[in-house]
């Protein structure tokens, strides 16, 4: 097939693209593993002309939507220090001209985000990592509307005594040698195929040698061509300074400096210098000797000041020559805290998969983690991140299984629930099921099992066993084959029987209270939704969510599931729970409101379902979750990101208050109702409590109080008089969350409510005690003060003293202007450009 078709096929298949780490080593290249991703199998292998390395197709190592299985080929060695490189080049293979952006995972932990929208010429991700097992899983995870792609994956074994961080792995920032050349150096000059890019500053002086440099005793195997040039400062009294940018101020940095004295020194010449990386980090003096290579690095990670690192080589007073540097590598420490699923469980589930010939697109990567990519049909126990998860239940019902109940199931030693119902299994019920100590529920109904159920299984206390629908299967105590179905619940105790009676009683009471159903989704007292546009059937809802396969979250309304419309458009589907405290009235309110309003900062309603007892709202999918998750989680949000999110949310509220006739009050503005799309644009969500004002001159309505404690307007709570200023109060609380990253209510504080706490803190006149410590002071002070004062004005007790949302939007934009000016000033600082684009030496073709 041609490349275009291949690319479209991958675009369809790679929803959670996974490359199994069962990769085959290539002995002729010292254990190198080279995969050209997307290469047709009949074109594999081939020799890349520049490096002479042999590349192999990834066809045997990916899992697709086809029925073929992963081929488990050995190659990765546990405990070996590997240089892992993934390369990405987008060649508009799908004719959409949509550069992808997606997450890259190494096992169950995120490695990095690949953004080809920003790096349109392609990019590479590089890490030095020691696998914890003899397999390696590299996964590309779709996070937005674009489809992930990968051009090549390369693994290079390194010496085990090099590049050893204090903990975690080393994520590459850059690797450069100091020269005015334009040549990139890699294999075969570098035996480990590290990529050395040229870098030089105009105020440096270049030193070059044509003589060979002795690298025989150099454990880092630095290429001779890399060491043949070096830089010294043009001003011999000045330090040699290299600066570079970090992603966040919390990044921990490792720097590897490679120094060789390649200048002919006179008898009275001395070269001696110290190395400084800030006020608290220094090393030296260093006095390189001729014909020796020095590899200088920090054994403990260094935290730079803010988001820019400054490394200086400073001449000592005893030195007659300036400092010298040939090459430098920089890394950030990347922790992989999430343990992989217990190895025994992984081996067992993969054996079960192989025995039954299963081919499920979700069965890729680690079975249990990350939790959002849990294999379909499994539930797992998560003790903590450092403890390997265990598989607790296996549901293979209606999976077209044939043959016997395979013995590999008993290797899932922590299994509590097994469901093999509605398949075509034959043979007997195996004895080993009775020996599985943790097993509490077994459902074998709807198969073609035969013979007698083992007595040990019938006698097992606390086990619920269902063998209904197996005509040729009977219990050992009664083998009446005329019965078409047998149900054998094994009840552990009278307490269990009492629990069943209680549940039945509760169901009867609920049925009496519920009364007649709504028929076609309505009760006699509830008018129909006026418009029927974009209405879906419940069957269509189940199809789009793949039978509610992937849970996104849970709210007061009910569970929210991930789904697709027409297989391409991502949506979030919120199903009304029968026990929902909101109910049909709020459902109807939200549907009717969202069908008549539209704004870029409001979550748009794609459709709804109103079919008998089944109610659902279908929204546009918001890939990055809600604001509260990002504030309370481990991810870093810069001050400029927070201001942009605040402005987006404020614009959404401004539209409800001014752009809608009659105006609409949201009534439940809070950080968890501010959702973020794949570009981190914020949109207001959850309009079930919203109210429209009547037409006329009234400035408020009287209504029962509704909202979330902490965000609820005190004046509205006391008077039941609702106005748009109630939303302003709630937004002010959200703005305080954005600024402080503190809980809205914290009973351990002297003043539990966030607004009262901030008020007390501001009396001391020190904003640093109020601002989120994660920001580490990286913000424009005037911008921060202005935002804080605005937030406090919004939460003023009297609604008359609060600003309207138009004023709020204006003030926040002023804050953003101040912060943008500060960041522009920083950009002018001389720094090393680490966003190295691909050149002609790159072997993988664009996809």
Q: How far is the first Cα of the chain from the last one, in angstroms, to the nearest whole number? A: 14
Which stretches of 684-780 are DSSP H helices?
714-719, 724-740, 754-762
Side-chain half-sphere exposure of 192, counting CA atoms within 13 A: 21
Q: Among all chains, which residue has been given the structure tokens 């009910």?
A: 558
CATH of domain 627-827: 1.10.510.10
The CATH number of domain 538-620, selected from 3.30.200.20, 3.90.79.10, 1.10.540.10, 1.20.1070.10: 3.30.200.20
d(CA 94, CA 284): 55
Gyration radius of the chain's alpha carbons: 32
Q: Among all chains, which residue has been given the structure tokens 């508009």?
A: 92
Q: Are 187 and 193 in contact (CB under 8 A)?
A: yes
Residue 129: is it exposed, middle or buried by C-beta count within 10 angstroms (0-12/13-18/19+)? buried
Q: Among all chains, which residue has been given the structure tokens 């703005």?
A: 735
Domain edges within the chain? 3-157, 169-334, 346-494, 538-620, 627-827
In the CATH hierarchy, which top-level class contains the domain 346-494? alpha beta
The per-residue pLDDT for 288 is: 92
d(CA 672, CA 708): 11
d(CA 22, CA 354): 15
Mean pLDDT on 444-454 = 94
* Domains 169-334 and 346-494 belong to one CATH topology: no
SS3 (DSSP) at 117? coil
Neighbour tally for 595: CB within 10 Å = 17
Q: Are 190 and 221 in contact (CB under 8 A)?
A: yes
* Residue 80 backbone zone (phi > 0: left; psi -120 to 50: alpha; other: beta): beta
Would you call the peptide bond into 662 cis, given omega within 30 degrees of 0 as the criterion? yes
Mean pLDDT on 831-846 = 39
DSSP string, 624-689: T-BHHHHHHSS----HHHHHHHHHHHHHHHHIIIIISSS-EE-S---GGGEEE-TT--EEE---TT
How many whole angstroms from its chain centre is CA 51?
A: 35
Least confident of 92-106, 232-246, 498-512, 810-824: 498-512
Binding region: 574
Mean pLDDT on 599-616 = 85
d(CA 245, CA 99): 24
Q: Among all chains, which residue has been given the structure tokens 């005329």?
A: 482
pLDDT band, residue 51 (cuts 50/70/90): confident
Tokens of 388: 């390997």
pLDDT band, residue 487 (cuts 50/70/90): very low
The per-residue pLDDT for 62 is: 56
Q: What percent of the chain has pLDDT over 70?
A: 80
Binding region for ATP: 574
Q: Are 426 and 449 in contact (CB under 8 A)?
A: yes
Collect all residues with Cβ–Cβ distance below 8 Å to 499 and sequence separation of at least 6. none
Tokens of 816: 């953003």
**Residue positions annotated with a catalytic role:** 668
Least confident of 291-295, 346-350, 598-602: 598-602
Instruction: Note if the pTM is more than 0.75.
Output: no
d(CA 568, CA 564): 6
d(CA 466, CA 43): 52
Condensed to tens digits (0 to 9), the pLDDT of residues 694-717 reads 544 445 455 556 678 899 888 887
Condensed to tens digits (0 to 9), the pLDDT of residues 292-306 reads 899 999 999 999 988
d(CA 461, CA 154): 53
Is the pLDDT score of 643 beyond 90? Answer: yes
Q: Are 601 and 679 in contact (CB under 8 A)?
A: no
What does the DSSP 8-state code read for residue 801?
Answer: G
d(CA 643, CA 322): 45
SS3 (DSSP) at 381? strand
DSSP string, 115-162: ETTT-TT-EEEEEEE--SSS---EEEEE-SSSPP--SEEEEEE--TTS
Topology of 169-334 in CATH? Jelly Rolls (2.60.120)
Beta pairing, strands 197-199 & 169-178:
parallel
């Amino acid at each position: 097939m041609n490349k275009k078709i291949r690319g479209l096929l991958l675009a369809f298949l790679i929803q959670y693209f996974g490359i199994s780490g069962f990769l085959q080593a290539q002995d002729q290249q010292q254990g190198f593993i080279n995969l050209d991703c997307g290469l047709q199998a009949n074109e594999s292998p081939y020799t890349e002309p520049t490096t002479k390395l042999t590349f192999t197709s990834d066809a045997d190592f990916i899992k697709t939507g086809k029925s073929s299985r992963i081929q488990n080929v050995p190659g990765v060695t546990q405990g070996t220090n590997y240089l892992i490189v993934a390369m990405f080049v987008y060649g508009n293979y799908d004719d959409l001209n949509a550069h992808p952006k997606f997450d890259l995972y190494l096992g169950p932990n995120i490695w990095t985000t690949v953004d080809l929208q920003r790096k349109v010429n392609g990019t590479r991700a590089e890490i030095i990592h020691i696998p914890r097992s003899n397999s390696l899983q590299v996964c590309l995870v779709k996070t937005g509307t674009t489809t992930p792609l990968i051009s090549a994956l390369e693994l290079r074994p390194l010496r085990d005594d090099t590049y050893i961080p204090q903990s975690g792995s080393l994520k590459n920032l850059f690797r450069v040698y100091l020269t005015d050349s334009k040549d990139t150096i890699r294999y075969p000059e570098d035996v480990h195929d590290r990529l050395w890019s040229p870098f030089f500053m105009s105020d440096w002086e270049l030193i070059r040698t044509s003589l060979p440099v002795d690298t025989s005793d150099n454990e880092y195997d630095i290429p001779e061509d890399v060491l043949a040039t070096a830089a010294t400062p043009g001003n011999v009294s000045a330090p040699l300074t290299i600066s570079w940018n970090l992603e966040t101020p919390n990044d921990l940095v490792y720097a590897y400096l490679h120094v060789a004295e390649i200048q002919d020194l006179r008898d009275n010449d001395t070269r001696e210098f110290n190395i400084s990386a800030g006020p608290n980090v220094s090393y030296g003096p260093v006095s390189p000797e001729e014909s020796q290579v020095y590899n200088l690095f920090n054994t403990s990670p260094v935290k730079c000041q803010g988001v820019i690192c400054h490394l200086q080589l400073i001449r000592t007073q005893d030195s007659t020559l300036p400092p010298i540097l040939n090459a430098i590598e920089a890394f950030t420490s990347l922790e992989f805290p999430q343990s992989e699923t217990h190895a025994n469980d992984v081996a067992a589930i993969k054996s079960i998969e192989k025995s039954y010939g299963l081919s499920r697109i979700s069965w890729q990567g680690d079975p249990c983690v990350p939790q959002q990519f849990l294999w379909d049909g499994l539930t797992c126990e998560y003790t903590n991140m450092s403890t390997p998860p265990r598989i607790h239940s296996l549901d293979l019902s209606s999976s077209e299984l044939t043959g016997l109940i395979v013995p590999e199931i008993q290797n899932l030693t922590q299994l509590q629930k097994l469901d093999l119902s509605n398949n075509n299994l034959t043979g007997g019920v195996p004895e080993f099921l009775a020996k599985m100590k943790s097993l509490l529920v077994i459902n074998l109904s709807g198969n073609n099992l035969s013979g007698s159920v083992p007595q040990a299984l019938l006698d097992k206390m606390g086990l619920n066993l269902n063998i209904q629908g197996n005509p040729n299967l009977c219990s050992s105590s009664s083998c009446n084959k005329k019965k078409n179905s047998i149900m054998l619940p094994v009840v552990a105790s009278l307490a269990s029987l009492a629990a069943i009676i209680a549940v039945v009683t509760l169901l009867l009471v609920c049925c009496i209270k519920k009364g007649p159903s709504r028929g076609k989704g309505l009760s006699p007292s509830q008018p129909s939704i006026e418009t029927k546009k974009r209405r879906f059937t419940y069957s269509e809802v189940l199809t789009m969510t793949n039978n509610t396969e992937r849970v996104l979250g849970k709210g007061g309304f009910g569970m929210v599931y991930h789904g697709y419309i027409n297989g391409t458009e991502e949506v979030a589907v919120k199903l009304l729970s029968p026990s929902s405290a909101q109910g049909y009235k709020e459902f109807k309110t939200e549907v009717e409101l969202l069908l008549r309003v539209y704004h870029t900062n409001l979550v748009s309603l794609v459709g709804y379902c109103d079919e008998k007892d089944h109610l659902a709202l279908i929204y546009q999918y918001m890939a990055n979750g809600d604001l509260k998750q990002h504030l309370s989680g481990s991810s870093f949000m810069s001050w400029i990101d927070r201001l942009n999110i605040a402005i987006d949310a404020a614009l959404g509220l401004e539209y409800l208050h001014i752009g809608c006739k009659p105006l609409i009050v949201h009534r439940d503005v809070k950080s968890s109702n501010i959702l973020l799309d794949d570009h981190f644009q914020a949109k207001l969500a959850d309009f079930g409590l919203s109210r429209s004002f009547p037409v006329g001159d009234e400035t408020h309505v009287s209504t029962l109080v509704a909202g979330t404690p902490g965000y609820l307007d005190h004046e509205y709570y006391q008077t039941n008089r609702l106005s748009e200023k109630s939303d302003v109060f709630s937004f002010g609380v959200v703005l305080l969350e954005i600024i402080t990253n503190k809980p809205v209510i914290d009973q351990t504080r002297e003043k539990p409510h966030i607004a009262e706490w901030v008020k007390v803190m501001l009396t001391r006149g020190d904003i640093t005690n109020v601002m989120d410590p994660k920001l580490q002071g990286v913000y424009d002070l005037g911008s921060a003060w202005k935002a804080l004062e605005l937030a406090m004005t919004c939460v003023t007790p009297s609604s008359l003293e609060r600003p309207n949302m138009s004023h709020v939007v204006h003030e926040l934009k002023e804050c953003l202007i101040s912060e943008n000016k500060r960041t522009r000033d920083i950009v002018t600082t001389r720094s090393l450009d680490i966003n190295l684009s691909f050149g002609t030496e790159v072997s993988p073709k664009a996809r």
